[in-house]
Amino acid sequence: MRHPTTPFRRQAMVDVLCTVVGSVGLGVTLVHFGKTSAWGSVAAIASGLTLVSVAVVTMVRRNPLFSTLADRVTLSRAVLGGGCATIVMLAALDTAPHRSWWLVLLAAPAVLLDAVDGRVARHTGTASAQGSRLDMETDAALLLVLTVPLAFTIGPWVLAIGLMRYAFVVLSWFRPAWREPLDFSQFRRVVAAIQAVVLVVALVPVVPLTGACIILALSLALLLTSFLRDIITLERGTSSRGDREPTRVGRTCSSHADLSDG
């Protein structure tokens, strides 16, 4: 008898396959206009696939494996983000400008769709911790990619916006208390949204570099504030618990170590 989860697994694998194929197709299209070498084209397409692989791996690690309509919106965002990574690599190879309209045209819908997948999940009654993780991992990877061209044009300090979540994850390996769940925070949510919007605005070619630098610095200050608030909350929680309850590691939770809601 067919296992009851088989149709869900099949749909999930189809979604994953479409995501990978879509990423390759978009990458091939972009490098066609990039006028780079064969090896440069391969590197650019591989860069896009690297970002997409973050979403794909997050999806296939689900047990049981499944996908929802909201997940497909997130995977579409991953494909757009992969296109951004391809353009960023082309720029690094000096075959495209670091701030270009092509990059903005891909990054803007990828950022705007971040407000769609959550609503779709709630509207269809399919909101889940797995869906949140997929969304957040995709967000984190996209933010990191978008900081790279700005690091070339404004300064390497911009990379802190994209790297902060990953730095928090690394530090949480040594401080397990930072893996504890955090209560929902509207401030954290708004700050995360601001990071993405500011990065896209700063990438618009007609925006003066001075203005881009100012809004990026303010955005980074907000992000630091958000992380510091959560670290203080986590440390206070550790102090209040004392030795009453051992720290549990590896569970799904709304913490910076698990979800990039910055």
Least confident interval from 27-31, 193-197, 243-247: 243-247
Q: How confident is the model at residue 35 (pLDDT cuts 50, 70, 90)?
A: confident
Residue 243 pLDDT > 60? no
pLDDT value, residue 238: 66
Name the maximum alpha-carbon separation found in the chain: 65
Cis peptide before 208 (omega within 30 of 0): no
Grade residue 248 by pLDDT with cuts at 50, 70 and 90: very low
Total-model pTM: 0.86
Res 252: pLDDT: 36
User: What pLDDT, on a 0 to 100 scale, did the predictor assign at position 242?
Assistant: 53
pLDDT tens, position by position, 120-162: 988 988 888 899 899 999 999 999 999 999 999 999 999 999 9
Tens of pLDDT along 14-25? 999 999 999 999
Least confident residue range of 80-84, 196-200, 235-239? 235-239
Mean pLDDT of 79-108: 93
Average pLDDT of the segment spanning 76-86? 96
239: confidence class by pLDDT, cuts 50, 70, 90: low
Interval 102-124: pLDDT, tens? 999 999 999 999 889 888 988 98
Mean model confidence pLDDT for the chain: 87
Average confidence (pLDDT) over 242-258: 44
The pLDDT of residue 262 is 38
pLDDT of residue 255 exceeding 90: no
What is the structure's pLDDT at 180? Answer: 84
Q: Is the pLDDT of residue 257 over 80?
A: no
Alpha carbons 51 and 141: distance in angstroms, whole number: 6
The reported pLDDT for the residue numbered 145 is 96
**For residue 7, is pLDDT > 60?**
yes
Which domains are delineated in the chain? 6-241 (1.20.120)
- Stretch 195-203: mean pLDDT, rounded? 96
Give the per-residue pLDDT at 241.
56
